[in-house]
Amino acid sequence: MKLTFNEPSLGGSIEVPGDKSISHRSIMFGALADGKTTIRHFLKGEDCLSTIDCFRKLGVQIDETEEEIIVHGKGWDGLKEPSAILDTGNSGTTTRLMLGILAGRPFHSVMIGDESIGKRPMDRVTVPLAAMGADIAGRDNGRFTPLSIRGRKLNTTEYKLPVASAQVKSAVMFAALQADGESVIIEPEATRDHTEKMIEQFGGKIRREGDRIIVQGGQTFKGTDVYVPGDISSAAFFMVAAAITPNSEVILENTGLNETRTGIIDVFKQMGADMTVEKTTKSGEEIGTITVKTSQLKGTEISGSIIPRLIDEIPVIALLATQAEGDTIIRDAEELKVKETNRIDTVVDELKKLGADIEATDDGMIIRGKSKLRGGSVSSHGDHRIGMVMAVASLITEGDVVLHDHEAIAVSYPEFFDHLQQLVK
């Protein structure tokens, strides 16, 4: 795809697609609940459609209309042994969270994903689940898909996460919900808490004591109505686009503002961005309107406890930092190495092709601003977020950008290029 923009500016308002993390979980909890769950503003990206497909193969009726997804849940025991392999596509969230659900169901199932999923480590989930009694086998002693899960009764656990990962935490939570008694999950740093909020939204209980999350097993859930806020990880691309493109102002409506996800807003403030945020609340999640204008930015350091709150936004933050005065240093972001690509190396390599002064470190990167970016040939490497970073970069390059494998963007943001064209003046 050739991206050509002649000194553009951006203006107008959009509503980005529904939050990917919440969309996944709304299907999962709807399937595990008794009764009907109606989901509005669901993200119909490829990852979330993989979750729907898996639950249909587990015997759950899921209806789709233009405006809603309707899940007809029959409780935990309503899941049936699938006659076909569960294909999670490119979705790490589907793969890891489904492991926690399937580990405690009394049947056999097999999960597989695409080539990228086949390279992503699953032992961070299979190891704690095995300690709870799960029987999971796969390539390289259960490290990689395909995975075979022979569901059985699970034991309670007290598990300290070795890395701050909402996917691992949520997988263990789903397993703990099926055990008899109380389980404790300890986080090194707070991670996104959509699973905890959804447990409560579907009528369950969960408590937090400091860094300890206490999950009571044997809970049942009731179907409910879910509104999925706009995904701040998707909004981040247009926040950055507005900040770095001359004479721009972009309004992002109904965007999720869950505090465990708003690290990028804190970084924008640190870097001096011209931004306003107005908050409201809906369906248990904070939402609001974010307005960003062209900004004079300064470099900053991003590390420590903020990293889990913006891990998916780091690639586009790297682009933002190329247009800031001074150095930006990103640390403690090793988790980027096990995403759809090694996002540290991939972001650095692709932005360098456009003239960025950027280098990789063991746990992050150093970006030296302010850089003039030039056109060039780049690739998403099959990673939706890398693809969107390159597309946003093309707004300010001197010359055209040719983006290979742009199709990967549909995983999380099918309307991305339509929204981009809508905002370009």
120 is in an annotated binding site: yes
Distance CA 287, CA 275 (A): 16
- Does residue 343 have a known ligand-binding role? yes
**Strands of 357-361's sheet, edge to edge?**
301-302, 326-330, 364-369, 357-361
Is 153 annotated among the ligand-binding residues? no
Order of strands across the sheet with 374-379?
2-3, 398-404, 374-379
Residue 152 labeled ligand binder: no
Could you check whether the bond before residue 370 is cis, i.e. omega within 30 degrees of 0?
A: yes
- Tokens 């804190």: give the residue: 266
Residues annotated catalytic, as ranges = 312
Query: Is 61 labelled a binding residue?
Result: no
Tell me how crowded residue 398 is: count the other CB atoms within 10 A of its CB: 11
Q: Return d(Cα 407, Cα 304) in angstroms, integer.
A: 33
C-alpha 155/C-alpha 175 separation (Å) is: 9
Residue 398 half-sphere exposure, CB side, CA atoms within 13 Å? 6
Position of tokens 């001197």? 398
Task: Confirm or deny that 167 is annotated as ligand binding.
Answer: yes
The reply, when asked if residue 295 is annotated as ligand binding, is no
Rounded to an integer, what distance in angstroms lies between the CA atom of residue 211 and that of residue 188? 7
Residue with tokens 């926690």: 100
Residues, the chain, total? 425
339 belongs to an annotated ligand binding site: yes
- Residue 180 known to bind ligand: no
| Phi, psi angle pair for 235, to nearest 5° | -60, -30
What number of CA atoms fall less than 13 Å from residue 130's CA on the CB side?
13
Q: Which residues are annotated as a binding site?
A: 20-21, 25, 92, 120, 165, 167, 312, 339, 343, 385
Q: Which residues are annotated as a binding site for phosphoenolpyruvate?
A: 20, 92, 120, 167, 343, 385
Q: Which residues are annotated as a binding site for 3-phosphoshikimate?
A: 20-21, 25, 165, 167, 312, 339
